[in-house]
Amino acid sequence: MPPAAPRSGDAIFASVERVNAELFTLTYGAIVRQLLTDLEEVEEVNKQLDQMGYNIGIRLIDEFLAKSNVSRCVDFKETAEMIAKVGFKMFLGVTASVMNWDADGTCCSIVLEDNPLVDFVELPDTCQGLYYCNILSGVIRGALEMVAMKTEVTWIRDMLRGDDAYELQVKLLKQVPEEYPYKDDE
């Protein structure tokens, strides 16, 4: 039987169960507020958000692969396209675009214009160092690590800090070949 064709982000988003984005936005806001109250240091909150995103990412990748029917990506360029066009669409309902490829093809930017996490949000002066959407960088890092790519994800532009879009830089550090976990002679 020939493998099923990969489905587009819109098709998958239309077929999954959906919830109101405002519930999602407000819940995320409650999480960030709890973290700020508990941890108090903006850097700590950034790290914790990234860690939470990582925990989500390592499980999210399974759902992504199951629902989207993608075959193995040939190179990192295709991976980035998959994340932007299919991944963001099927989970957050927004499309992102990929740009600013460097010469090696290992570093690119994913640009989001619409971001459901940040509706109604304004950063107060006391939290200027906060990367409010840092959970997204953790999700991408976690998901890619589960498919054998070690990456570094950082924020280049952040609308809450006055820029005009959200831009994430995804840098491929190395491809970790899959290791067979058992020794053959045991």
Partner 1 sequence: MIGTGKIKQYANVLDKPLGKGKQEVSLSAFAFLFSELVQYNQTQVDNISELETRLEDAGYAVGARVLELLCHRDKGNRRETRLLGILSFVHSTVWKVLFGKVADSLEKGTEHEDEYMISEKELLVNRFISIPKDMGTFHCGAFVAGIVKGVLENAGFPAVVTAHFVPVEGQQRPRTTILIKFAEKVLRREARLG
* Minimum CB distance to partner 1, residue 60 (Å): 6
Tokens standing for 56?
Answer: 């989500």
The alpha carbon of 116 is separated from its chain's Cα centroid by a whole number of angstroms, namely 13
DSSP symbols for 22-84: HHHHHHHHHHHHHHHHHH--HHHHHHHHHHHHHHHHHHHHHHHHHHH-----SSHHHHHHIII
Residue 51 or 73 having the CB closest to partner 1: 51
Neighbours of 174 (CB within 10 A): 10
Nearer to partner 1, 65 or 176 (CB): 65
Nearest to 52 by CA among 115, 131, 138: 138
Q: Which is nearer to partner 1, 13 or 131 (CB)?
A: 13
Distance CA 114, CA 64 (A): 21
Least distance (Å) between residue 177 CB and partner 1? 28
CB of 94 to partner 1, least distance (A): 9
Closest distance of CB 141 from partner 1, Å: 15
Residues that bind partner 1 (CB under 8 A): 13, 16-24, 26-31, 33-35, 38, 48, 52, 55-56, 59-60, 63, 90-93, 113, 116, 119-122, 135, 159, 164-165
Give whichever of 19 and 103 is closer to partner 1, judged by the CB atom: 19
